[in-house]
Chains A and B, each alone.
Chain A
Amino acid sequence: MTINSEMLAAVLFIVFGIVAVFLGSAYGFDSLSQPGAGAVPVLAGVALFLLGIAQFLNAIRAARGGEILPAAFASGEFRPLLLILLAIFAFAVMVVPLGLVPALAALTFIAWFAQKGGRRWEIAGAMVTTIVLMVAIFKYGLGLPLRLFGAGF
């Protein structure tokens, strides 16, 4: 079964609504005359949960009425999503121990494969351009204290 966008919205509302009520109630609702730190999170969570239920019922009604609802996820999007997130993650892991240049090289390399249009031999050009531009803007243009390479370089 493919999940449609209406149903996904309902699931998001219900899940985040429950989390907000559960965590918010631990911060203390107190009273209406002196609302505590948990009051607004709980109220917002309850409202979100109720909207989630309404959205869920709407989605069910639409599906039963024969309406074709758009699928939430397109299969062509998983590859770019995963590779883009992986590229950011690699940057985060590498930037402090190895420095900005290797982190940017890794980011460019991984992200390049997110799309199908780019030719392989272009990677080096994109990598050099990106590194040069980023170093020029952030390190020399804005004067930020960024380490280009990790210790030992």
Chain B
Amino acid sequence: MPLLDLGFQVAFNPVNLVYCLIGVTLGTAIGVLPGVGPVITIALLLPLSFGLPAEASIIMLAGIYYGASYGGSTTSILINLPGEASSAVTCIDGHQMAKQGRAGAALAVAALGSFFAGTVGTLLIALAGPPLASIAMRFGAAEYAALVFAALLMVAAMTRGGVIKGIGVALLGIIFGLAGSDVMTGTFRFTFGIRELRDGIDFSVLAVGLFAIAEIVGNIASSSQSVVTTSKIGRLWPTGNDFRRSWPAVLRGSAIGSLLGVLPGAGVAMSSFTAYMLEKNVSRTPEQFGQGAIEGVASPEAANNAASQTGFIPTLLLGIPGSPVMALMLGAFMIHGVQPGPRMMTEHAPLFWGLIVSMWIGNFFLVILNLPLIGLWVKLLKVPYHWLFVFVLAFACVGVFTMGSSPFQVYTLVFFGILGYLLKAAGLSPALFILGFILGPMFEENFRRAMSISRGNIWIFVERPISLTFVLLGVAVVLLATTSFVRRGRAEAEEA
């Protein structure tokens, strides 16, 4: 495995190790803080990543992502308040265990299960990478256009609010993504004579405006939550019986998470919910679920961490992000001039393999960080939101301003703040808007190229087997989404 060796060299570089540690620590902290999720944090840090080397900034941002899912589990268990949607399921049995004075065991099982699942996910990326990339190398313009089409439809179908709203908001994102100069003809589109828009709308400004501003407004309007109690943590090391009950659950959770993480739209939250349901179904004592069953913590925690890792597979190897965080990660790659896709593994081998190995190291950091520092994380919960939001807002403004040293980007932030608020008010997913924004130009370029190659024959998308598969997959998911099965799953995942 000479390429994994290369990854170890990059990841063990002291600078990268420090950024990995910063990433996972920051990730855990924000996973703990209610109201500040990984999407906002990564969006806020995007402007900063300009100044860092590509490897260091990507490693740090990835650390924030999977660190946040660890942090979310801590608050779920201790105070029944999930910092992250993906850890909502952990509340059910995790908090019951905490009430019984077994918070320490729940946290330890969550951390160890997550570490195991993270390792499985990382290994899967390393193993699946080369064969998947060689298949993707055969993709032409028609296949890529069809793949983007299918990915957008799949995510739209899985988003709350219904298929029409899902597809509509993705289309809206696509239209905004087309602003700037057309790559084929050089025509300026949707620039309204503004020079700063000729290179297109800045991704970081868009992300900060859509996520951070709307989120802050929503949180202030409903900010009544304050942390009242924290549970006693109890002894940290699980008992032999805990281990015996947990390990099969961790294995099943890792398998489910690894599988669902790859699918666009299914995502981390759905994987933890599915893992919990499966665990309850296979259990000989399903009545213990909801009363503090350790399997109910081990399996969803393993699943959400495995899904966090394997979510990188479509992003890195196909350039198709399956979730909003992955869309932001894709944006971060692009800021550094790296186009994720099948060629990334050969053209940017140190970055690709360095990132893979750093994820494994990051997961290890999390185990040794999370458990001894639980007391500190609990204290973080006491930071009042009315201080936190001022800091987040100031960080957003200064970060965006420093990107161009001109106030134009900050004015754009006001515009996207309003748009983000309108999307939220209309029940439209800003995450899907971001996906459309990122994938729109890719779809357009490949669509136009495919049409040129086929001399205007639209059937090119169904004449080629791979492209046909993607088109059928996208259509099938939309049709399925209208059936009760998916609607029920989606509703349950949201409730959880």
Partner-B contacts on A (CB < 8 A): 5-6, 8-9, 12-13, 16, 20, 23-24, 27-28, 31-41, 44-45, 47-48, 51-52, 54-55, 58, 70, 72-74, 76-77, 80-81, 84-85, 87-89, 91-93, 95-96, 100, 103-104, 107-108, 111-112, 114-115, 117-118, 122, 126, 129-130, 133-134, 137-138, 142-146
Contact = CB atoms under 8 A, between A and B. Distances in A.
Interface of B: 48, 51, 161, 164-165, 167-168, 171-172, 174-175, 178, 182, 184-185, 187, 189-190, 213, 216-218, 220-223, 384-387, 389-391, 393-395, 397-399, 401-402, 405-407, 410-411, 413-414, 417-418, 421-423, 425-428, 440, 443-444, 447-448, 451-452, 454-456, 458
Contacts of A36: 185
Contact of A108 (B161, B167, B390, B414): B390
Contacts of A108: 390, 394
Contact of B386 (A16, A72, A115, A129): A115
Contacts of A70: 427
**Chain B interface, DSSP helix/strand/loop, else mixed:** helix
Contacts of B398: 100, 104, 134, 138, 146
Contact of A34 (B167, B220, B223, B452): B452
A117 B447 contact: no
A72 B425 contact: yes
Contacts of B407: 92-93, 95-96
A33 B456 CA distance: 4
Given A5-B427, A115-B386, A138-B402, 15 more contacts: A6-B427, A8-B422, A8-B425, A9-B427, A34-B452, A37-B185, A39-B448, A40-B174, A51-B167, A51-B168, A80-B221, A89-B414, A107-B397, A111-B389, A143-B51
A118 B386 contact: yes
A35 to B, nearest CB: 5
A60 B212 CA distance: 32
Given A32-B456, A47-B171, A80-B217, A126 B390 contact: yes
B3 to A, nearest CB: 32
Given A37-B184, A74-B221, A144-B402, A44 B171 contact: yes
